Copies of this chain bind each other. A is one copy, B any other.
Amino acid sequence: MISQKAKYGLRALVALANEGDSLMIGEIAARENIPRKFLEQILLEMKRHGIVHSRRGKLGGYSLLMPPDKITYGQVLRIIDGPIAPLPCLSRIAYRRCPDCKTEETCEIRRVFARVAESAREVLDRTTIADSLNSPLLANEPGSGACAKAHR
């Protein structure tokens, strides 16, 4: 299960992309039904990771720092929820050896979850915010969503 926080974060990005312009936290929170103060934390975190940009003061707000088709689901999930891999010893961003488990190469269950991780990444790293837009305007260039759709 992904966290509520990640769900909120993704929905906020989709809202920003749909708007195509800057939006205030309060406006996003209201539209997407997200607790306002919680959303603040989430957007802050995404800002620190260079996904969004903010302007302070009156007339402030958040806006995307990259085009929607460059922001992948995987990227966002890794920021908010951490590794996608189902085992620490399969994570690319936070590899840790399993403390039990004698040898990694012969671990019976590792092989299985490696396949799960691979197929999850296949979807999450190829699907972008642009693939979730309301108006399917720019979502249909060959690079992104179409590929992910074609593969299954």
Interface residues of A (CB under 8 A from B): 1-2, 7-8, 10-11, 14, 32-34, 73, 82-83, 85-88, 98, 100-102, 108-109, 111-113, 115-116, 118-120, 122-124, 127, 131-134, 148, 152
Contacts and interface: CB of A to CB of B under 8 A. Distances in A.
Contacts of A102: 33
B34 A100 contact: yes
Given A1-B83, A11-B108, 20 more contacts: A1-B85, A1-B88, A7-B87, A8-B100, A11-B109, A14-B108, A14-B109, A32-B100, A33-B101, A33-B102, A108-B132, A108-B133, A108-B134, A115-B127, A115-B148, A116-B120, A119-B119, A119-B120, A119-B122, A120-B120
Given A33-B101, A88-B1, A119-B120, A132 B152 contact: no
A128 to B, nearest CB: 10
Contacts of A111: 132
Smallest CB-CB A-B distances: 10 pairs: A108-B132, A119-B119, A33-B100, A2-B86, A10-B109, A115-B123, A116-B123, A14-B108, A112-B127, A116-B120
A109 B88 contact: no
Contacts of A115: 123, 127, 148, 152
Contacts of A127: 112, 115
A9 to B, nearest CB: 10
Nearest to A8: B100
A119 B112 contact: no
